Amino acid sequence: MAISDGQFRTGVIAAGAVLVLGIATLRFCGSVALPPKPAPPSGSVEPGASSDQLLTRTANLPSVYRDHLAQDAQTAGVRTPSLEDMTRKLPYRVDDARHVLEVGRRGTVIAGLELTVLRAGDSLALDIRNTTQSDLAYLVVSAVTPSIAGCETARPLPFNAMVLAKGEHETRVECVWRADMAIAINRVETLELSPLSAWYVNHVPPEVIGIEHRIARGHHGLTIKDPKERCVPMLGQAVRSGIESGEIGWRDLVDFYARHRCQSYSFPLGYRAFTADGQHSLPVTATER
């Protein structure tokens, strides 16, 4: 049906009036209902958590641990181990019998290490050779005999106090030179390490695992250029007390750091070395033991 121009104009004006009236009603007389606020995502962090706490909780996730393995293996230039690899028991040797070694005598093999006493300039030194087919974390507890004061005045030779690579040897200074002195070996411990575990342990300062200052002062491990990647393990007072009392041993400490990058994980008070394959899931945190 045809409409006139007047009727068309009247219709347009009426429609506009209705539209204006509707907008005014919503603006001044009502409100638009909004959907309810969604619940916070699971895993959200409570207010007040520090950045260190956030980093610790993130590092404790198994997925983050696996990422660390892959990234660290690439940096170290070694094969990425599986979680099964990292939960295997590390072959361990220990000899706590006392052995007195003299200069000029043939080397003595103890717990996988060949030990030879020699003169190095003006110092009495101990040459330590890895006789096994694996990289070794090692501890050699020694004392000069007869006992004299001032052994720390001897200038140390740079050496790796933490890890001996397969077939390699290190020479460490024990004391100033005297012709009538020998070296008493009081305890030797070794742990066989995978390539990535050796790389992890090589980042740890020797004092952290109980190596005495007389020996540790000559240590030269891996050089980390990035300050953020340097290893400065934080040991709580309870852990330190456990180390001092002997409740926490060298094996426990090295076993932990062989499985956990020291830049991200702290030694838990209850941690003890794995005595069986797959004994615990990784990473091991303070709440798991």
Residues 280, 288 contacting (CB under 8 angstroms): yes
Note the pTM of the prediction, 2 decimals.
Answer: 0.79
In tens, the pLDDT along 259-269 reads 999 999 999 99
Helices marked H in the chain:
5-29, 51-59, 62-76, 83-86, 195-201, 213-216, 237-245, 250-257
Is the model more confident about 41 or about 199?
199
DSSP string computed for 121-132: TTEEEEEEEE-S
In tens, the pLDDT along 74-85 reads 999 999 999 999
Check whether 163 has a pLDDT greater than 70. Answer: yes
Check whether 45 has a pLDDT greater than 50. Answer: no
Check whether 38 has a pLDDT greater than 60. Answer: no
Q: Residue for token digits 């200038």?
A: 155
Check whether 140 has a pLDDT greater than 90. Answer: yes
Residues 201, 78 contacting (CB under 8 angstroms): no
Check whether 277 has a pLDDT greater than 50. Answer: yes
Q: What is the pLDDT of residue 49?
A: 43
Q: Which two tokens stand for residue 220?
A: 């030269």
Q: What is the pLDDT of residue 32?
A: 47
The DSSP element (H or E) to which 155 belongs, if any, is: none
Check whether 114 has a pLDDT greater than 60. Answer: yes
Q: What is the pLDDT of residue 63?
A: 94
Check whether 127 has a pLDDT greater than 60. Answer: yes
Q: What is the pLDDT of residue 46?
A: 45
Q: What is the pLDDT of residue 39?
A: 47
Over range 230-234, report the average pLDDT.
74
Beta-strand pair 113-120/163-164 = unpaired
From residue 176, alpha-carbon distances to 105, 126, 155, 156 in Å are 19, 12, 8, 10
Percent of the chain with pLDDT over 90: 69
